[in-house]
Amino acid sequence: MIISHARPADLDNIVELERSGFDAAEQWSAEAWAEELSSPDRYVLARLDLEARIIGVATFSCVEDMADLHRVIVRPEQRGRGIGASLVRAGLDWANAVGARRMLLEVSPENHAAVALYRRLGFEPISTRRDYYAPGRHALVMLRPLRDGDAWAVECA
Ligand SMILES: CC(C)(COP(=O)(O)OP(=O)(O)OC[C@H]1O[C@@H](n2cnc3c(N)ncnc32)[C@H](O)[C@@H]1OP(=O)(O)O)[C@@H](O)C(=O)NCCC(=O)NCCS
């Protein structure tokens, strides 16, 4: 399995992945993903299986020294095998390489798998954004410091 840059041609596969990963109310639209894939300030990674099918995707950005993790999704039947971690680690490597000093993300505190994944990779909660997802649905803000030489090996299981 390899990690590569996602391309606009991957849109349909990524939208399918999005639908497998989130309830309808939380899903990004096809238009939002198309914008993500075509935007020069986004770094979108796809994890492929041996048949070159996309089984995971993650998208990042970086402004000055602050990187953001916007989304990470792994196909349900492929979860628990280190794929989400490999995508986030690849994004951390990229953020380091482009000079970021921190990576930030928002996550629902009820999304236990995602919170555990982020904690495992060194993110710590720093605050809460109230009503971030909807009225009464708050987001946990998590931060991970970066530093030179803090590169992760990209695992290819
Ligand atoms: C969150 C998500 C991306 C994790 O992907 P994954 O490939 O299953 O995660 P990994 O196998 O790389 O797990 C890495 C670590 O995360 C933690 N983790 C992942 N899933 C977990 C779960 N269901 N319960 C508890 N811990 C979990 C573990 O600490 C794990 O490390 P370990 O196996 O060494 O203990 C996946 O569950 C997913 O796609 N969810 C739906 C979309 C989503 O909510 N995305 C996050 C918000 S954008």
Q: How far apart are CA 28 and CA 18, in angstroms?
A: 7
Least confident interval from 59-73, 76-90, 103-117, 134-148: 134-148
| Cα 51 to ligand 1 centroid, rounded to whole Å | 23
Average pLDDT (52-60) is 96
Distance CA 125, CA 116 (A): 11
pLDDT surpasses 90 at 57: yes
Q: Which residues line ligand 1 (CB under 6 A)?
A: 21, 71-74, 79-85, 107, 111-114, 116-117, 120
CB 145, CB 102: distance < 8 Å: yes
Task: Please tell me the pTM assigned to this model.
Answer: 0.94
Q: Which of 110, 46, 109, 113 is nearest to 79 (CA)?
A: 113
Give me the pLDDT at residue 86, please: 97
Note the CATH number of domain 2-145.
3.40.630.30
Best of 57, 71, 79, 81 to mutate for ligand 1, by most ligand atoms within 8 A of CB?
Answer: 79
The amino acid present at 22, given as its one-letter code, is F
Of 72, 56, 37, 78, nearest to 142 (Cα)?
A: 72
Mean pLDDT for the stretch of residues 90-114: 97
Does 143 score more than 70 pLDDT?
A: yes
Give the C-alpha separation, 127 to 137, whole Å.
14
Whether 4 has a pLDDT exceeding 70, the answer reads yes
102-107 and 137-145 beta bridge pairing: antiparallel
What the block records as the tokens of 67 is 């990187």
Please state the domain extents for the chain.
2-145
Residue 154's pLDDT band (boundaries 50, 70, 90)?
Answer: very low
- pLDDT exceeds 90 at position 141: yes
Compute the distance from residue 80 Cα to the ligand 1 centre, in Å: 6
Residues 6+ apart with CB under 8 A from 103: 60, 66, 67, 68, 69, 91, 92, 95, 123, 143, 144, 146
Q: How far apart are CA 6 and CA 106, in angstroms?
A: 22
Model confidence at 123: pLDDT above 50: yes
